[in-house]
Amino acid sequence: MSDYSVGDLITELSAIRDRADQRPEYIPGDWVEQFQGLASRVHGAAGGDPRAQLAEPIFAAIGRATGSLEDALESRYRASGQLGEYIEGPLKGERGSGSGGEGGGAGANYGSRSERRASFRFPAELKFAVVGAGLFIVGPFVPVVLSPLITVATGALILAKLTHALREADSQHGLDADNDKRRKSRMASAAGSLDDTLWTVLGEVVKIIPGMEIVALGMTLYDGGALIGEHVALLLKQFRSRDEREN
Amino acid sequence: MDKYEERVRNAVSAIRSEREDSINGALAALNDLEVTELVQELCVSIEDVTSGKDVDRLLAAATLPLPDNPLTLVDAVDRKDITALHAYANGDFVTLLASMLALIASLQEAGDRI
């Protein structure tokens, strides 16, 4: 039996993204079907509490799917470290004298590109959100679709697919035919609404995993795309800790 | 040229081309970039198109669409003030990304022409 892996999904997502005629709201039906199949097989093989049994492979899949999110977070932390070195390092004086200091003007005449980027310091508390639905208009240009926007948005699509599969599997087994939520998940994904999609997905995750109340609390503090990766990383950390304890 | 510089350049070129397929393709290529570094690269790109230039003249000569209050963006970049950029876009990353790309494309086009 050939399972459709999350890696396959990511590969397909990347290929879709690279196509010039890509539309982010387009989600091939076979992805949904393949995930449904995966979830159904796992669900059917499990005994005991079907929700708990189903959660394991779903979370394992999410772990693989969100590897890119973790990489992005690590990159951010590495960049923060490099920024600290940049500020505190011995080259500070040279840069300061060469171009009028950190806040001094264009600063286009020193350092490598990455060093120049690092000179724009991001306050630690600053968070950007993806507030809109991913649509904006640049002057007279046609509406430009910019969603999925960043890695977390790609992760959101993957998570939405997984949730969709979970909902389908539940429905098939008569556990929970919450069509409204499933429709909401679809609609959020179709509209490219990162907030709605992630809210729905994380809500589902919290519901099926015991001991995830802290995440529910964290969700109330949710304030945009920058936190999404952190939420997911927290989910993964808790899941893996639980997995290690059980093993 | 690293991937951040390359993809931002491609996005700016696509906006200057005013072709929908090019714009969408170039913006999609930004998807896997890290947000912080992408904003920083956009700042550096704004530096590149404004450094040593008469910005008022460039703005007056611009024919491509400009974002609202472009000088606010230019000043924020000049001061390396990310918080000001955040305030400009009300924290909306999409607004900031669109505004900065439009500004770069407009000023670059004006600078090439005059």
- The pLDDT, as a whole number, for residue A169 is 41
Angle between helices A213-220 and A225-246 (to 10 degrees): 170
What's the pLDDT score for residue B58? 94
Distance from CA of A13 to the nearest CA of B (A): 11
Q: Which residues pair with A145 in a beta bridge?
A: A135
Write the single-letter amino acid at A115: E
Among candidates A76, A117, A140 on the partner chain, residue whose Cβ is nearest the Cβ of B44: A117
| Residue A131 clears pLDDT 50, i.e. is over it | no
pLDDT value at residue B71:
94
Chain A CB contacts of B22 under 8 Å are 20
Percent of chain A's residues with pLDDT above 90: 0
User: Which residue matches tokens 């200091």?
Assistant: A101
Q: Are the C-beta atoms of A75 and A229 separated by less than 8 Å?
A: no
Kindly indicate the confidence band of residue A247, based on its pLDDT and cuts at 50, 70 and 90. Answer: low
Chain A residues within 8 A of B30 when measuring between CB atoms: 149-150
pLDDT at B74: 95
The residue that leads in pLDDT, A136 or A108, is A108
Rounded Cα gap, residues B49 and B15, in angstroms:
15
Mean pLDDT throughout A129-138? 37
DSSP bridge pairs for A144: A136
- Spatial distance between the Cα atoms of A10 and A17, rounded to a whole number of angstroms: 10
Q: Is A193 helix (H, G, I), strand (E, B) or coil?
A: coil
pLDDT mean over A174-193: 43
Quote the pLDDT of residue A142.
25
Q: Which of B21, B78, B94 sits opposite A132 (nearest CB)?
A: B94
The two three-digit tokens of residue A5, written as one number: 């892996």
How large is the average pLDDT for residues A171-200? 43
User: What is the spatial distance between Cα A153 and Cα A130, in angstroms, rounded to a whole number?
Assistant: 9
B50 to chain A, any CB pair closer than 8 A? The answer is: yes
Domain coordinates in residue numbering, chain A: 6-72+144-246, 83-133
**pLDDT in the model for residue B17:** 80
**Touching check for B80 and chain A: CB below 8 Å?**
yes
**Band of pLDDT at residue A82, cut at 50, 70 and 90:** very low
Separation CA A209–CA A163 (nearest Å): 13
Nearest to A151 among B31, B48, B82 (CB): B31
Q: From CA A203, how far away is CA A69, in angstroms rounded?
A: 19
Interface confidence, given as ipTM, is 0.91
pLDDT over threshold 60, residue A124: yes
Residue A114 CA to its chain's centroid (Å): 25
Q: Which pLDDT belongs to residue B110?
A: 93
B56/chain A closest Cα distance in angstroms: 15
Q: What is d(CA A58, CA B112) in angstroms, rounded to the nearest whole number?
A: 53
B17-41, pLDDT tens digit by residue?
Answer: 876 667 767 777 776 677 788 889 9
Indicate the SS3 state at residue A135: strand
User: Is some CB atom of chain A closer than 8 A to the CB atom of B10?
Assistant: no
pLDDT of residue B83: 92
Optimal mutation site among B16, B80, B82, B109, interface A, most CBs of chain A within 10 A = B80
Using an 8 Å Cβ cutoff, are A151 and A68 in contact?
Answer: yes
CA B81, chain centre distance (Å): 15
Choose the closest CB to A120 out of B21, B82, B101: B82
What is the pTM for the complete model shown?
Answer: 0.43
State how beta strands A135-136 and A144-145 pair: antiparallel
Would you place residue A238 in the very low, low, confident or very high pLDDT band (cuts 50, 70, 90)? low
> Would you say residue B51 has pLDDT above 70?
yes
User: Which span out of A155-164, A226-235, B91-100 was modeled with the highest average pLDDT?
Assistant: B91-100
In 3D space, the residue among A16, A10, A75 whose CA is nearest the CA of residue A229 turns out to be A75
Measured between beta carbons, which residues in chain A are less than 8 angstroms from residue B50? 106
CA gap A57, A51 in Å, rounded: 11
